[in-house]
Structure 1
């Protein structure tokens, strides 16, 4: 399915238990969810949690993390829609480059325009995150995407010049 649109809802309070459960069920890091709750968003469709994701912002760079779709909703376009929404939101707050680590979704992100990046070339602010230092293995693929070039005319939430 293409063209799906989603709304991001900040995860807070009792929502964090659902976030942790969904992350753990999909072998994604959940240990620092409470410390980074302000950067995690739930995606609700017709009253049901269908997925989540987050962006930790560090100036003009950000860490895309914890993008996951519930098993029952996979293949429906939610993963793409969640990434579109997170990238648009990051762009609107001044993030020019997103980085991520993944052990299972390299091809998905490559198809979205993310390119391989050497961990040593990632900005220090991102390399110091729990995701990089403790939660993801060294074998995880490190990817980056420039957002700045898509500011004007972006169909997912352009920012005026």
Structure 2
């Protein structure tokens, strides 16, 4: 069940350090956050940042990245709210297919219609991202979702 007190909004300049800290604390890629701050969103509950996520847009393809919720706030639907907001943002901006890499959240995304795909079958615009080339291990599971 999703908690109605959550707000998901685009990260602003004051949020970037918090985005980096939350990603780093959860062993997610954070080193390139400042090179593309416009890609990140923050989730808040009762004015406290409890999660983050991002989406990079490359024409009709997008890279969903770094969706994480503070451990003490997990299990309340916040991750789903962040994912849905990012998917809607991507859809609104012309993305028809989202891709992602994960080492720990494959089951979470598969419950939301993401399907496994071989990395070599991902469009080159996504393969060239720092997430694919430098930040995520080759052992990460690659998933995709067709947006409707």
Structure 2 match to 1:56: 56
- Give me the whole-angstrom Cα distance separating, in 1, the residues matched to 2:7 and 2:131: 25
Distance of aligned partners of 1:85 and 1:16 in 2 relative to their CA distance in 1, 3 Å threshold: same
List structure 1 segments (4+ residues) > 4 angstroms apart after TM superposition.
Answer: 3-6
Count of aligned pairs: 148
- Give me the whole-angstrom Cα distance separating, in 1, the residues matched to 2:97 and 2:5: 22
- Give me the whole-angstrom Cα distance separating, in 2, the residues matched to 1:101 and 1:74: 20
User: By how many angstroms is 1:7 displaced?
Assistant: 3.5
Distance of aligned partners of 1:85 and 1:31 in 2 relative to their CA distance in 1, 3 Å threshold: same
Task: List alignment gaps of at least 5 residues for structure 2.
Answer: none
TM-score if structure 1 supplies the norm length? 0.88
Matched, 1:141 2:114: no
Structure 2 match to 1:15: 15
TM-score if structure 2 supplies the norm length? 0.95
Residues 57 and 63 of structure 1 are in contact (CA less than 8 Å); yes or no, is this contact kept in structure 2? yes
Range with greater deviation from structure 2 (5-14 or 63-72): 5-14
Task: Deviation per CA, 1:60-101: give whole Å up to 9, x if none.
Answer: 000000100011110110011110111111111110000000
Larger-gyration structure (1/2)? 1
1:38-77 correspondence to structure 2 within 5 Å:
38-77=38-77
Matched, 1:33 2:33: yes
- CA-atom RMSD, angstroms? 1.3
- Give me the whole-angstrom Cα distance separating, in 2, the residues matched to 1:91 and 1:3: 23
- Give me the whole-angstrom Cα distance separating, in 2, the residues matched to 1:141 and 1:85: 22
Distance of aligned partners of 1:78 and 1:135 in 2 relative to their CA distance in 1, 3 Å threshold: same
Distance of aligned partners of 1:50 and 1:78 in 2 relative to their CA distance in 1, 3 Å threshold: same
